[in-house]
Chains A and B, each alone.
Chain A
Amino acid sequence: MDWGQILNNAAGELLSPVTAAYALAAIGISVHFGYAGLLNFGQAGFMAVGAYAFVIATLSFDAPLWAAFLAAILASVVFAFLLGIPTLRLRADYLAIVTIASAEIVRYVVSTTGLTEYTGGAAGLSGFNDAFVGINPFPTGSYGFGPWTYTANQLWIRVFGWGLVVLATVLVYLLMRSPWGRVVKGIREDEDAVRSLGKNVYAYKMQALVLGGVLGSLAGVVFVLPRAVQPGNYGTTLTFFIWTMLLLGGAATLFGPIIGAMIFATLLTLSDGILRGLISADIITFISTTQAGQIRFMIIGAVLMLLVVFRPQGIFGNKKELSFNV
């Protein structure tokens, strides 16, 4: 059992582009749930919309890189409006139902055989990252140290992904300290009260939904940039992973979603490595390596339960905020 390799893999996960994508998506639902009180259980849908819009624009329409990004953003704005127009006037739980269903609809639509020409069907699409690799500003070579040793392309995708995370964090910081953020947080507490003070609650909820959705779709793009896009990745489990990361870090906090994503991704790899290591060293004999992949989710589920019982505000959350029964 190679502890060095296990720890190395886990540490590498800390800064991987997938973790950056998780963090971006978690910042998105932090805007939705943490600040605006919108229950979006379809963040995987927003990620799929972003990823597919980016890939289809690149492959089917030969769009340049900037246009592909624009397509991803626009597609998620349209998606947010489609979800928000019928549901945002209703109670919060309706949005939850609609988002969870829409995310599944998106997943089924992109994997349907009728659209294979554009979406690649169940197999997905690849070979769309040439333009992105083409603008890599780093010369070929080896960068970093230890578990964080990267080739130029690996470095570029990480710098890009985490750069987006930093931009999103700055954006959320600027918005949430502003009067706009105050209105949105007021809506989370009681939307009728905010309405009685002359604020167009519906418009604010829509803006928050679009903002979080765009962050979700950019997360989708970062998610697929280093590899291929596959419909199987966008199931409800992805949404719940992101929720776990958000709650782990603290919902209405600036760094909670980022740290939550890092911890979650690292733990997932670490527990997988340890379990597989123990099995191959014949220390654990009653489960197989394929079962280990499932068992780590049980462990993480148990950890999440402990977390919400003993630290419901997350790592960065303010205990005082939760001590009131509001």
Chain B
Amino acid sequence: MSDTTRSDTAVTHPLVAGAVGPGCKKVDPIVVADNVTRTFGGLTAVDVQHVEIPRGAITALIGPNGAGKTTFFNLLTGFDKPNTGSWSFEGSSLAGVPAFRVSRKGMVRTFQLTKSLGRLSVLQNMLLGATKQPGENIFTALIKPLWRKREEEITAKAEELLARFKLDTKRDDYAASLSGGQRKLLEMARALMSDPVLVMLDEPMAGVNPALTQSLLGHIKELKSEGMSVLFVEHDMHMVRHISDWVIVMAEGRVVAEGPPETVMSDPAVIDAYLGAHHDTDLGDMTGSNPVIEAKEAAAAHHGGNADRKDEH
């Protein structure tokens, strides 16, 4: 958990200006946070000295439960107020800026516990994500010709996004009738309605089945190829390894390590604080309750090699 584990070797990375290490300077940061602290009573939930989120990359924020990841998310997006600190998005300070204005600046978030608007249709959920709809003003709202054109534009856009996220058949259903995974998709699609610059996803894969995980992964990669930056909190290490360009590790409110996924996951400090010594072995191996893997390992031991890890159970 100390800050000195790796900086002595002065590793470099294309996203980073200078040496890689916790709180290192990025070549082109989109979010810069300094000295952000948040305490709940006597508990210090977040105590981030300095962190920079790279632009145009997929950044994962990982760490054990209670590490302050979601609290940090809330602070960055204006959903919670820190005790101290300053942070900026694309160079403009966000300290004290209310959540709705943070979102308008192009930093749009989703929630760990999905917040779909149950008694609105899927399409209406999507349309709510759009910006610059003059009909959202109470006076303009009364005269339809003033907002009809924009409504048509955003409806077309919403339908395009729904098709991409395979929700187009659910267009007129109440969002409450969607499954948990579909709601995750809807929430992500809704966040994209405003053409955000930075998409912040809080545990996008929690409770999503493996097949849907695949398509969600695809969607997140697409965001990057469309020029958006992504910051996400996740516990699924396969996903982190698979799609992130950069990993930031938090523990007890601090940033304890950061770097490209391969390096971070072999960092002893990270393994210590979060992954655990057996993070690369199947849970079945540790409890001895998985006869298939046990048999495979026995066979592999005979041949003197390591058994390939399998995810199927």
Contacting pair B100 A186 (CB below 8 A): no
The reply to whether the CB of B207 lies closer than 8 angstroms to some CB of chain A is no
Contacting pair B127 A180 (CB below 8 A): no
Contacting pair A179 B174 (CB below 8 A): no
The reply to whether the CB of A115 lies closer than 8 angstroms to some CB of chain B is no
Contact of B128 among A174, A197, A321 (CB under 8 A): A197
Contacting pair B141 A185 (CB below 8 A): no
- Contact bitstring A169-212, B, C-beta under 8 A = 1, else 0: 00100110011111101101110111111111100000100010
Contacting pair B151 A179 (CB below 8 A): yes
The reply to whether the CB of B118 lies closer than 8 angstroms to some CB of chain A is yes
Contact of B119 among A192, A197, A321 (CB under 8 A): A321
Task: A200 to B78: give the CA distance in the assembly, Å.
Answer: 13
Contacting pair B117 A198 (CB below 8 A): no
Residue in B98, B117, B118 with the greatest tally of chain A CB atoms within 10 Å? B117
- Contact bitstring B132-143, A, C-beta under 8 A = 1, else 0: 010111101110
- Assuming the A-B contacts A179-B133, A180-B137, are A324 and B99 also in contact, with contact meaning beta carbons closer than 8 angstroms in the complex? no
Nearest-CB residue, chain A, relative to B119: A321
Nearest-CB residue, chain B, relative to A187: B117
The B-contacting residues of A in range 192-244, CB under 8 angstroms, are 192-201, 207, 211
Contacting pair B118 A196 (CB below 8 A): no
The reply to whether the CB of A135 lies closer than 8 angstroms to some CB of chain B is no
Contacting pair A207 B138 (CB below 8 A): yes
The reply to whether the CB of B144 lies closer than 8 angstroms to some CB of chain A is yes
Residue in A180, A183, A326 with the greatest tally of chain B CB atoms within 10 Å? A180
The reply to whether the CB of A320 lies closer than 8 angstroms to some CB of chain B is yes
The reply to whether the CB of B268 lies closer than 8 angstroms to some CB of chain A is no
Residue in A174, A181, A182, A183 with the greatest tally of chain B CB atoms within 10 Å? A182
Tally of B interface residues using CB under 8 Å: 43
Nearest-CB residue, chain A, relative to B105: A198
Nearest-CB residue, chain B, relative to A211: B138
Contacting pair B100 A201 (CB below 8 A): yes
- Contact bitstring B89-100, A, C-beta under 8 A = 1, else 0: 000000000111
Contacting pair B147 A197 (CB below 8 A): no
B115 proximity list for chain A (CB < 8 A) = 190, 192-193, 196
The reply to whether the CB of B229 lies closer than 8 angstroms to some CB of chain A is no
The reply to whether the CB of B176 lies closer than 8 angstroms to some CB of chain A is yes
Task: A200 to B177: give the CA distance in the assembly, Å.
Answer: 27
Contacting pair B100 A200 (CB below 8 A): yes
The A-contacting residues of B in range 75-133, CB under 8 angstroms, are 77, 79, 98-101, 103-104, 108-111, 115-120, 124-125, 127-129, 131, 133
B111 proximity list for chain A (CB < 8 A) = 192-193, 196
B104 proximity list for chain A (CB < 8 A) = 198
Residue in A188, A195, A197 with the greatest tally of chain B CB atoms within 10 Å? A197
A195 proximity list for chain B (CB < 8 A) = 79, 99-100, 103
Contact of B177 among A175, A180, A201, A324 (CB under 8 A): A324
* Shortest distance between the CB of B199 and any CB in chain A (Å): 11
Please, could you name 22 A-B residue pairs with CB atoms under 8 Å apart, sorted by A? A178-B147, A180-B136, A180-B141, A181-B141, A182-B128, A186-B117, A186-B124, A186-B125, A186-B128, A188-B119, A190-B117, A192-B115, A195-B99, A195-B103, A196-B103, A196-B109, A197-B108, A197-B190, A200-B98, A200-B100, A324-B174, A326-B119
